Structure 1
Amino acid sequence: MIELQEGILPDIHVRHPYAIVAITKHGVQMGRELQQSFASADLYYMGKFTKGDEEERNIQLFNGSVRLLLPALFKQYKGLILIISLGAVVRMIAPILVDKKKDPAVVVIDDRGEHVISVLSGHLGGANALTHEIANVMGAKAVITTASDVQKTIPVDLFGARFGWVWDSEEKLTPVSASVVNEEHVAIVQETGEKNWWMHETPMPKEIIIYPTIKDAIQAEPQASLIITDRLLQPSEEILLENGVVYRPKSLVLGMGCNRGTSLDEVEAVIDETLIELQLSKKSVKALCTIDLKKDESCFLAITEKYGWEFVTYTPAELNEMPLPNPSETVFKFTGAYGVSEPAAMRYAKTSDLLLQKKKSGNVTISVARLSF
């Protein structure tokens, strides 16, 4: 619990680029739902609205006036999403404004969730793009008053953020954004991930072209590129990164089993080794799945908490419903399931295909599946 005191900056735990703040009952529920859909944000709300699952969901509670929380958030977040009345927000942020080159984006949502309003740092801070993203997630109306906000295109630093996509490196965000804004030839290659990322009612600008493969994009010689994939790029493909950004959609599912008491270090080493062998990005992992006998396994709880992955368990009956490539009578004898890692990954990903069938390494078994979109 964060105890807010006058004149003392509170100690906050920053995990993502954006912060959602709520101070009313309706606002808290809205914020909880928004955090589930907009994975790039941390959530803060008043302690009196505790639901009991805040620690598990990495939600931060506070006691005291939200006015005392905002200076710390201003210093450490790229943008603030405040489910607070516009007038109150204006009064609270006025004393802590610096200038448009340094202030974070500030977006306000009304208590009914009908309007998302760009309040501060619309262009340079990205509030206008953030407003569109949040409004799209919520099915609300975006309110932007900047007269020059006429370009309806891709916000490079927020591309796919509402789906939980993350970029590999921020190094090229600014030059790629410049290419988009300046209507240069921009290539998009999407190998996996959600397909409904275009959020405007108007067609995509003609300068932004979707290519079926990275090879096609390289041959087209674009001035910038956006690549959506869970693969590690090969050296021959990295020419697109001279002015390009790689986005990692949450597309990979780890099915795992382990001996009781296996260490976090061993589990993580097996995951890292496996993903490197498969040439897949750890940033694209969405969930770790196992049998419900392992729901309290400390190494699984620790690794999923560390990386913000979903931790999902299934009953033996649920696992046995999946078509197993390698059923085991021994595993059935001890668990009631004919397999753990393979059916767990397949069940979550809703597929019978695996990128990796069961691999045994020390105390750990692992399988990998890819979500289809």
Structure 2
Amino acid sequence: MQMSKDLAIVAITKGGMEIARRLRDHFSEADFLISEKFAAAAGEGVIPLKGPLSKNVGEFFHAYDKIVFLVSLGAVVRLIAPHLKDKHVDPAVLVVDDRAQFVISVLSGHVGGANAFTETVAKALGAAPVITTASDVGKTIPVDILGWELGWILEGEEHVTRVSASVVNEEPVAFLQETGEKSWWTRPTPLPPNIECFTSLEALMAQEIGRPPVAKEGFGKRYGAYLIVTDRSRSSFPGQMQDRTVLYRPKSLDLGMGCDRGTPIEEIEELIGTTLEKNGLSMASVRALATLDQKSDEPAFLQLCEKNGWKLVAFSKEELQQVEGILTPSAVVEKWVGTPSVSEAAALRSSGASALLIPKVKAKRATLAVARVVFS
């Protein structure tokens, strides 16, 4: 059975086959898996299913990112149950009834994208979407996937269940955003009133101490949970918050670097890791490595960017010469490359910041500076 990786649409009845034909107009790149009995009537290019569906599901279930079953909900639940592994690897599963009246999000609503795709399929069929995930029904924050489309990385997955419960049960929840994109709230409805937003830890702490707590007196008792968008390390936040806190890592740090030709990647990795850790910053929030254009082919820089998924940004000496806010200019550097600063100037130029987060740090054969990305 030759299968693609994104979407499968499965039908075993005449009614399901007719719906599948309608969906081909909207999802032409999908694989259409049709019962052998109706495959010929479904048109060219379908994949015939031989024998009962129960004998085929195991073969294709984990071959697709999304599966739309044009089969009854009860049957689908029984069919897929033996093949479920984990929400991070299971496909998004949707069910459409035999008259295309309802499109139901069944599995991997958030992580797999089933909820969003349910809306898409329902619109294509003129059907009613059925979504039961509490955060979607309640029009509140989906804790497990917040910021995914912006590239945010979730940290603290072991606390997601507890934090999500506070969010959907409308307990007071603190949302602290220190950096990152401001466009994270995408619903047309306002943010629910149980979510209180802060832009600094100091403001959050003042609110905790200055207002009646939820339970016992003392910091960490007013809010049932904390959602924090930050590039700072978890240890930067009070211990009382830790077991009720989920962190989101936006791509908010740009590294400015210079090095001698042929500097080993291990030396550069150690410089970056040690510097970020010492300053309480997360490697997960690094967006880019910026440098002089003469260094854009430096093997260690190329390897690091490929390994970590960072952008490699290169500037000419003329561009770096124009950067203001340099704290440690070097006459020696200017003599050799034509600009008094590489690492600091590159970090500032790449990030759009007016001040450095970490001024130039020197290793034996490399320099590093860090700036925080400016988000509009």
TM-score tier, shorter chain, comes to 0.5 to 0.7
Partner of 2:62: 74
- Residue 146 (structure 1) aligned to one of 131, 144, 148: 131
Partner of 1:336: 338
What 5-or-longer segments of structure 2 have no aligned partner? 9-28, 30-46, 50-55, 95-102, 121-126, 214-221
* 2:301 is aligned with 1:320: no
Structure 2 contact 61–91 (Cα < 8 Å) conserved: no
Q: Where do 1:73-152 residues align within 5 Å?
A: 74=62, 97-98=80-81, 102=85, 104-106=90-92, 120-121=106-107, 123=109, 127-128=113-114, 131=117, 144-146=129-131, 150-152=137-139
Equivalent-residue separation in structure 1 for 2:60 and 2:267 (angstroms): 37
* 2:279 is aligned with 1:293: no
Partner of 1:368: 370
Equivalent-residue separation in structure 1 for 2:141 and 2:107 (angstroms): 18
Q: How far does residue 106 in structure 1 lie from its aligned partner after superposition?
A: 2.0
Partner of 1:351: 353
| Partner-residue secondary structure (3-state), 1:187 | strand
- Bigger shift: residues 189-198 or 217-226: 217-226
Q: 1:130 to 1:99 in 2, by over 3 A?
A: farther
Number of positions where the alignment pairs a residue of Structure 1 with one of Structure 2 = 295
Partner of 2:154: 167
- Residue 158 (structure 1) aligned to one of 135, 145, 155: 145
Q: TM-score, normalised by structure 1?
A: 0.67
Structure 2 contact 152–248 (Cα < 8 Å) conserved: yes
Structure 2 contact 69–93 (Cα < 8 Å) conserved: no
Partner of 2:254: 253
Partner of 2:167: 180
Q: TM-score, normalised by structure 2?
A: 0.66
Partner of 2:42: none
Deviations 1:72-129 (Å, cap 9, x if unpaired)? 8938xxxx766x9x689x9xx9998336964734289xxxxxxxx9754155866355
Q: 1:73 to 1:101 in 2, by over 3 A?
A: closer
Partner of 2:217: none
Partner of 1:36: none
| Partner-residue secondary structure (3-state), 1:358 | strand
Q: How far does residue 147 in structure 1 lie from its aligned partner after superposition?
A: 6.3
- Matched to 1:337, the amino acid is T
Equivalent-residue separation in structure 1 for 2:321 and 2:104 (angstroms): 50
What 5-or-longer segments of structure 1 have no aligned partner? 7-18, 24-44, 46-64, 109-116, 136-141
Structure 1 contact 184–223 (Cα < 8 Å) conserved: yes
Structure 2 contact 175–228 (Cα < 8 Å) conserved: yes
Equivalent-residue separation in structure 2 for 1:107 and 1:311 (angstroms): 38
Partner of 1:244: 245
Q: 1:305 to 1:72 in 2, by over 3 A?
A: farther
Q: How far does residue 180 in structure 1 lie from its aligned partner after superposition?
A: 1.6
Q: How far does residue 169 in structure 1 lie from its aligned partner after superposition?
A: 2.4
Q: How far does residue 290 in structure 1 lie from its aligned partner after superposition?
A: 0.5
Q: How far does residue 326 in structure 1 lie from its aligned partner after superposition?
A: 3.0
- Bigger shift: residues 324-333 or 305-314: 324-333
Q: 1:342 to 1:163 in 2, by over 3 A?
A: same
Structure 2 contact 115–131 (Cα < 8 Å) conserved: no
- Matched to 2:113, the amino acid is A
Equivalent-residue separation in structure 1 for 2:327 and 2:110 (angstroms): 53
Equivalent-residue separation in structure 2 for 1:96 and 1:170 (angstroms): 29
Q: Percent identity?
A: 38
Equivalent-residue separation in structure 2 for 1:283 and 1:238 (angstroms): 21
Q: 1:233 to 1:206 in 2, by over 3 A?
A: same
Equivalent-residue separation in structure 2 for 1:270 and 1:72 (angstroms): 46
